[in-house]
């Protein structure tokens, strides 16, 4: 006769196992009730390769100006360095699949392409709110300590999600799953409770290279490795100041983030579109007109992007991105708006307006404009004039 594990255990261990099972089931049920698509458990020692890989990412300078990645390296590398008492890590996946292929807008140069994740409410707020609800109920039920994180804490969410079995880190470096493709936000709950751990997922990329080949800026030096300094997502969201002139033409009309490597993935055929209305694209953010976006001042920007993650980068950085799209549009109707921005208060905006005008105006008209320009003291803007062929 086969003896079940629970029958073989001494009574106190049996009780402890049942408690772990019950707590694990409780958290899963809570996650499902709040609309999470995936919820699985791993432990704090489950990502032994991640620290070394993070180290090599930083050594190669692939983080660009994101100095906070290096500053938090020790805590980021190890969940126990972040919180020494943590015993279990619950990883959550939240589907934000688009209704249609997000790459279709790339063929419309008079429109700005906003990446799928930023077309409505800020996902940090949506997911953090849900995780806090789970944390409160779980802490009360388990009598254990709990902390929740989404994106901004020094937690390596992708390797932890792979270890928990939510999916695997693809060659585009993001976590994807057989059920949801590449369109998953991640979040985590750290707890002192001892929960039942799940098995990790294995890699299902095989010989596919679709994401690597889809990248417009060649930002992947190798499969599974990203050089953020060439990534449009980094350049348009994280990076302040001027953008490498050699990369500007490759950015096209992408004004906030980029989805090309995610959208190219064949596993997306199994993905469903987002069910949470707060993450479904806002109508006016699906294809915003470049000429309208160029007119945004600080107040207009804050009001148009109220509740959106785009608000975080501020008006100047955003208009810098829109000017790059304008310069790439070949649309002479945008010249008037760019001329206005060439006199903007922000040097970043003025500099990018010079670049856009050089591309949009006929050579004689540009030379005439350059001759009539007011004195410029900012070195970065003067560098743009120099690159545009206008001597001091
Ligand atoms: C910094 C950051 C960025 C940076 C750098 C991205 C990167 N790939 O590192 C920039 C600004 C470019 C960025 C862009 C985007 N991001 Co981001 N970002 C982060 C953040 C804050 C940290 C990521 C990190 O630790 N990077 C450091 C590197 C070293 O880690 P890694 O990518 O895991 O690198 C691994 C591989 O290199 C791998 N590796 C190396 N060699 C080898 C070899 C083999 C064989 C294997 C198997 C693996 C392997 O090991 C490393 C460690 O695991 C996370 C949130 C978080 N706290 O985790 C969000 C996060 C990764 N971002 C997210 C999103 C949605 C995006 C964008 C899609 C947004 C957009 N549409 O514009 C793009 C996608 C670009 C891309 N292809 O990665 C989501 C991804 C969700 C998911 N399903 O994976 C996250 C998890 C936020 C969240 N909570 O949902 N992001
Ligand atoms: S997000 Fe865009 S630019 Fe960045 S790696 Fe993916 S395809 Fe390349
Ligand atoms: S596109 Fe291909 S290689 Fe890239 S993550 Fe998807 S399956 Fe992997």
In a domain, 153, yes or no: yes
Residue 277 located in a structural domain: no
Question: Does 265 map to a domain?
Answer: no
In the chain, how many domains are there?
Answer: 2
Ligand 1 geometric centre to CA of 354 (Å)? 33
CB atoms within 10 A of CB 141: 14
The answer to whether position 88 is within a domain reads yes
Last residue in a domain, options 156, 191, 226: 191
Q: Give yes or no for residue 201 CB within 6 A of ligand 2.
A: no
Ligand 2 near 260 CB (within 6 A): yes
DSSP lists the bridge partners of residue 168 as 176
210 Cα–ligand 2 center, Å: 12
Q: Whose CA is nearest to atom 43 of ligand 1?
A: 224
Q: Per-residue pLDDT for 374 more than 90?
A: no
Atom nearest to 265 CA in ligand 3:
1
DSSP three-state, residue 110: coil
Q: 257 alpha carbon to ligand 2 midpoint, in Å? A: 8
pLDDT of residue 1: 37
Quick one: what percent of the chain has pLDDT higher than 70? 98
Q: 28: domain range? A: 11-57+65-99+115-191
For 66-105, the pLDDT digits (tens) are: 999 999 999 999 999 999 999 999 999 999 999 889 999 9
Structure tokens at 263: 């959208």
- Residue of 383, 356, 139 lying closest to 249 (CA atoms): 356
- Which element (helix H / strand E) includes 194? none
Could you list the beta-strand ranges (E) of the chain. Answer: 38-42, 88-95, 113-114, 146-149, 168-169, 175-176, 184-191, 254-256
In the reported structure, the alpha carbon of residue 204 is separated from the centroid of ligand 3 by a whole-number distance in angstroms of: 8
Which residues make Cβ contacts (< 8 Å) with residue 138, sequence separation at least 6? 23, 26, 27, 30, 144, 146, 189, 191, 193
Q: Is residue 160 located within the same domain as residue 293?
A: no
Q: What is the CATH number of the domain that holds 92?
A: 3.40.109
CB atoms within 10 A of CB 18: 12
Q: What percent of the chain has pLDDT over 90?
A: 90
The ligand placed nearest to the CA atom of residue 225 is: 1
Asked if the model's pLDDT at residue 30 lies above 70, the reply is: yes
Site to substitute for ligand 1 among 172, 226, 321, most atoms within 8 A of C-beta: 226
pLDDT of residue 4: 46
- CB of 358 closer than 6 angstroms to any ligand 1 atom: no
What pLDDT shows up at residue 287? 96
Residues 185 and 295 occupy one common structural domain: no
Q: Write out pLDDT tens, residues 140-187.
A: 999 999 999 999 999 999 999 999 999 999 999 999 999 999 999 999
Say how far apart CA 221 and CA 212 lie, in whole Å. Answer: 9
So which residues are the catalytic ones?
Answer: 151
Final residue belonging to a domain, choices 191, 221, 239: 191
């Amino acid at each position: 006769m086969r003896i079940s594990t629970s029958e073989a255990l001494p009574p106190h261990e049996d009780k402890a196992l049942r408690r772990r099972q019950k707590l694990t089931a409780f958290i899963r049920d809570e996650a499902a009730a709040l609309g999470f698509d995936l919820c699985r458990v791993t432990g704090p020692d489950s990502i032994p390769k991640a620290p070394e890989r993070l180290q090599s990412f930083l050594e190669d300078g692939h983080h660009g100006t994101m100095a906070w990645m290096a500053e938090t390296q020790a805590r980021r590398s190890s969940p126990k360095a972040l919180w020494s008492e943590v015993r279990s890590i619950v990883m959550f996946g939240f589907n934000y699949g688009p209704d249609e292929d997000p790459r279709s807008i790339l063929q419309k140069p008079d429109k700005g392409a906003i990446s799928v994740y930023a077309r409505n409410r800020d996902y940090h707020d949506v997911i953090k709110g849900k995780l806090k609800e789970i944390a409160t109920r779980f802490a009360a039920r388990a009598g254990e300590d709990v902390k929740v994180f989404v994106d901004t804490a020094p937690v390596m969410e992708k390797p932890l999600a792979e270890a928990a079995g939510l999916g695997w880190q693809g060659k585009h470096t993001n976590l994807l799953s057989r059920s949801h493709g590449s369109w998953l936000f991640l979040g985590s709950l750290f707890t002192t409770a001892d929960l039942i751990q799940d098995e990790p997922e294995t890699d299902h990329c095989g010989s596919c290279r679709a994401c690597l080949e889809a990248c417009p800026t060649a930002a992947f030096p190798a499969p599974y490795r990203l050089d953020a300094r060439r990534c449009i997502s980094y350049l348009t969201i994280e990076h302040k100041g001027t953008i490498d002139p050699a990369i500007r033409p490759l950015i096209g009309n992408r004004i906030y983030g980029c989805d090309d490597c995610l959208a190219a993935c064949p596993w997306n055929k199994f993905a469903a579109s987002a069910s949470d209305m707060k993450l479904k694209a806002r109508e006016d953010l699906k294809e915003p007109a470049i000429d309208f976006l160029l007119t945004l001042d600080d107040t207009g920007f804050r009001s148009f992007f109220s509740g959106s993650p785009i608000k975080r980068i501020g008006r100047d950085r955003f208009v810098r991105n829109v000017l790059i799209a304008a310069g790439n549009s070949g649309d002479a109707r945008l010249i008037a708006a760019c001329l206005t921005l060439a006199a903007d208060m922000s040097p970043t905006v003025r500099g990018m307006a010079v670049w856009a005008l050089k591309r949009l105006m006929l050579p004689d008209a540009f030379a005439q404009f350059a001759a009539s320009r007011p004195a410029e003291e900012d070195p970065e803007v003067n560098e743009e004039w120099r690159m545009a062929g206008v001597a001091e």
